[in-house]
């Protein structure tokens, strides 16, 4: 039962529920290869959200800025490939939302502990504006903050729960968004953590 959120944006409540145990296992497996870490922002602050990545390219932040790399700056090795369960849910969500192709070039995995937050931002480090971003929430529910195309636009609040999937395409691809500080609470499959997986295309297809 898709819930339209805005032009190009659609929420699929619980779409990933049946896959959640496999997705969480895959996250733990990935984190053994490239550990979650709290990156530094270009402004010199440490993010409260810890991140890791998989796919052809991974997103990184440091004092020099935000960018995508083919190798992990920590391990020096290529990012691990997308686990099969990741590919499957990205395909299922984009097809359900009516997009012709799933974004699979890069996958960012965010790990929230109690109090961790993500301030209002736009995702603009990718060069494939026609491709949607697929986001998937696991574990402790969070309050998603969701504005418009200008930072000053009013912000709506949306609860993102375990298994929820949102496809952000069309004009919604560039809305300002963030996550309010995570409440201390626990989930049987993730403990006090919330994980968010985003699937992205970062370059135009050949
Ligand atoms: C709307 N992640 O990784 S998920 C991010 O819950 C990010 O960890 C948040 O913002 C999280 O960049 C929010 C929902 C989401 C993700 C990406 C979007 C909404 C989006 C990109 C464009 C527009
Ligand atoms: Fe974002």
User: Could you list the pLDDT tens digit for every one of the 206 residues in the chain?
Assistant: 899 999 999 999 999 999 999 999 999 999 999 999 999 999 999 999 999 999 999 999 999 999 999 999 999 999 999 999 999 999 999 999 999 999 999 999 999 999 999 999 999 999 999 999 999 999 999 999 999 999 999 999 999 999 999 999 999 999 999 999 999 999 999 999 999 999 999 999 86
Number of domains forming the structure of the chain: 1
Whether residue 12 lies inside any domain: the answer is yes
Whether residue 206 lies inside any domain: the answer is no
Ligand nearest to the CA of 109: 1
At residue 205, the pLDDT reads 80
Structural domain for 167, as ranges: 3-200
Cα–Cα distance measured from residue 52 to residue 125, given in angstroms and rounded to the nearest whole number? 16
**What residues flank ion ligand 2 with Cβ within 5 A?**
123
Q: How many CB atoms lie within 10 A of CB 153?
A: 12
Whether residue 103 lies inside any domain: the answer is yes
Query: pTM score > 0.90 for this model?
Result: yes
Whether residue 99 lies inside any domain: the answer is yes
**How many degrees, rounded to 5, is the angle at CA 106 between CA 105 and CA 111?**
160
At residue 206, the pLDDT reads 65
Query: DSSP strand E in the chain: where?
Result: 3-6, 9-12, 50-55, 58-62, 65-69, 106-112, 118-121, 133-139, 142-146, 156-160, 165-168, 177-179, 194-200
Whether residue 205 lies inside any domain: the answer is no
- Residue 25 CA to ligand 2 center (angstroms) comes to 23
Ligand nearest to the CA of 133: 1
Protein residues whose CB sits closer than 6 Å to any atom of ligand 1: 108, 110, 118, 123, 133, 135, 144, 166, 168, 173, 175, 177, 179, 196, 198
At residue 1, the pLDDT reads 85
- Residue 44 CA to ligand 2 center (angstroms) comes to 19
Judged by DSSP in three states, 138 sits in strand
At residue 135, the pLDDT reads 98
Give me the CATH number covering residue 188. Answer: 2.60.120.590
- Residue 136 CA to ligand 1 center (angstroms) comes to 9
């Amino acid at each position: 039962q898709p819930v339209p959120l805005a032009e190009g944006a659609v929420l699929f409540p619980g779409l990933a529920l049946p896959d959640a145990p496999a997705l969480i296992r895959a996250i733990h497996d990935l984190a053994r290869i490239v550990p979650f870490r709290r990156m530094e922002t270009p402004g010199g602050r440490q993010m409260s959200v810890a991140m890791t990545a998989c796919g052809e390219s991974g997103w990184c932040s440091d004092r020099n800025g935000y960018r995508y790399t083919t190798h992990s700056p920590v391990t020096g090795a290529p990012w691990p490939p997308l686990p099969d369960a990741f590919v499957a849910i990205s395909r299922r969500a984009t097809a359900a939302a009516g997009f012709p192709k799933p974004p699979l070039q890069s996958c960012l995995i965010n790990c929230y502990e109690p109090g961790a937050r993500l301030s209002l931002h736009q995702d603009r480090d990718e060069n494939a504006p026609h491709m949607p971003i697929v986001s998937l929430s696991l574990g402790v529910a969070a309050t998603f903050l969701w504005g418009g195309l200008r930072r000053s636009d009013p912000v709506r609040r949306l609860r993102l729960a375990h298994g929820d999937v949102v496809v952000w395409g069309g004009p919604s691809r560039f809305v300002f968004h963030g996550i309010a500080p995570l409440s201390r609470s626990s989930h049987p499959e993730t403990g006090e953590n919330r994980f968010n997986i985003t699937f992205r295309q970062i370059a135009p297809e050949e």
